[in-house]
Amino acid sequence: MRLITLISLTLFNGIALAQNIPPAPVRETATPDARLPDSAEHAVEDKNQAQKQQAQVMHVTEAELLGRRGTYAPRGAAGQKFATRRRRNAVDPLALNPGDYVVHERHGIGRFVEMTSRPVAGASPVNGVQPMKEYLVIEYAPAKRGGAPDRLFVPSDQLDLISNYVGGENPSLSKMGGSDWAKTKSRARKAVKEIAADLVKLYSARQASRGHAFAADTPWQRELEESFPYNETPDQLTAIHEVKEDMEKEIPMDRLISGDVGFGKTEVAVRAAFKAVQDGKQVAVLVPTTLLAQQHYETFSERFSGFPVKIRVLSRFQKAKETRQITEEIASGTVDVVIGTHRILSDSVVFKDLGLVIIDEEQRFGVEHKEKLKQMRTNVDVLAMSATPIPRTLEMSLTGIRETSTLATAPEERHPVLTFVGPRTDSQITAAIRRELMREGQVFFVHNRVADIDDVAAEIGKLVPEARIATAHGRMSESRLEQIIVDFWERRIDVLVCTT
């Protein structure tokens, strides 16, 4: 114990000399009868003599002394531990396939080639085996035009610099060490800041503006709701109550109804639209496709039958004369509910007293259309519906910028959607189509190559000769496409082979 005390004092004296502080005296703590061995006494004398001389201090780190890194977690000013940073979309090297696109934090977009091993430079062989290190090989665009692609070897302990590429298909490769990637990141940061600023301005204006506070439910509203032929799910009732509560406030509503297909989102929209019409306001129902516009028109017309509500459809299928007549009725206020595609957002459509905008599948509209929607959002109530909200919409909902109602309960007697994945065989296609025809249903056969879409339709005709088959794609004329869609909607076509 005496020896340990002397060693600890020696270390302390060394540190004290390094800081130009007088060394602490060595105290004798032995009992009167106890004596140090001769070797220990010589050690104390040598130590006292060394203290009188000029000290030479060598700094040794913990890793050099003990062979390991410090075990102390970094802490902030308040003493709390810093959370471990984890990169989003972090790459898993075992899940990568040759040709997959990855993103390096400093060099940008590259193409994964392989995992390889290389000898560790300067390391001596251990038991005759040279130490090896794993590397991730990434290929980049050539530095010179017509040259060979550059390759980057990323050590396995630096995989935190790599993330999976999540953009569009077939991106252009970045150049190693060039300024293109830095400019791309700068533009992305600028765009994000602009979007954030626009959102802040938009929702600040919404909170500051005063919209129309709708009145409480009328007897006709209760009559409409009691005529619903199905039992509402608990989620539906909650969503309807939240929508009505928002509409009766002066602050313009901006609520998202999220739910799977067939979970009752349309009925929530029907009741909200009827409530707006009862207060003398006009309603615009915006949908991404003409077929969906026709479906909503049939649903709204059926639900509003027996009530003095005028509904019109506005899409590219209307003739110029009919479109002019509808826009005049919208401007005069004789139309209560307008259901249509992006034609509703054109400058020629002017509402007399718009009170509610219902948007179905908002994520499917383009940038220009969304800019128009931003302007509409500042002073009217907005109800959006989606089965697959985009990440930004979800984030806005989670942060409280947009209110959200979720329909997670399936209606009674609703069968789940069955999905089968397997090799393409004629027997599977024939069985699936005939099974649907037996239940008097219809079939969408999606084929995204217009060049041979007629050949695919002919092949299906040979497999199922009793089916009435037609094709539809974007290169058709408007009149021809309109007739096919109408025929399919009116069940004159059993199988529609079409593009997305």
**76-126 residue pLDDT tens:** 555 554 454 555 556 788 888 898 899 998 889 999 999 999 888 878 888
**Who has greater pLDDT, 142 or 486?**
142
Say how far apart CA 289 and CA 297 lie, in whole Å.
Answer: 12
Look at 308-312, 371-375, 450-454 and tell me which has the smallest mean pLDDT: 371-375
- Quick: pLDDT tens for 465-477: 999 999 998 888 8
Average pLDDT (356-379) is: 73
pTM attached to this predicted model: 0.58
Look at 27-31, 274-278, 301-305, 367-371 and tell me which has the smallest mean pLDDT: 27-31
Cα torsion at 198, 204, 210, 214 (round to 10°)?
Answer: 80
pLDDT number for residue 16: 37
pLDDT number for residue 318: 78
- Quick: pLDDT tens for 394-440: 777 766 667 889 888 888 777 777 888 888 899 999 999 999 999 99
CB burial of residue 53 (10 Å; 0-12, 13-18, 19+): exposed
Residue for token pair 């789940």: 416
CB burial of residue 414 (10 Å; 0-12, 13-18, 19+): middle
Question: How many CB atoms within 10 Å of residue 210?
Answer: 10
In DSSP terms, 126 is beta-bridged to 129
pLDDT number for residue 437: 92
Average pLDDT (255-273) is: 91
- Quick: pLDDT tens for 14-26: 333 334 444 444 4
Please check the confidence at residue 346 and state whether its pLDDT lies above 70.
Answer: yes
pLDDT number for residue 367: 56
**Comparing C-alpha atoms, which of 279, 327, 331, 272 is closest to residue 303?**
272
Residue by residue, DSSP assigns 250-318 as SSPPEEEEEE-TTSSHHHHHHHHHHHHHHTT-EEEEE-SSHHHHHHHHHHHHHHTTTS---EEEESTTS
Say how far apart CA 350 and CA 344 lie, in whole Å.
Answer: 9
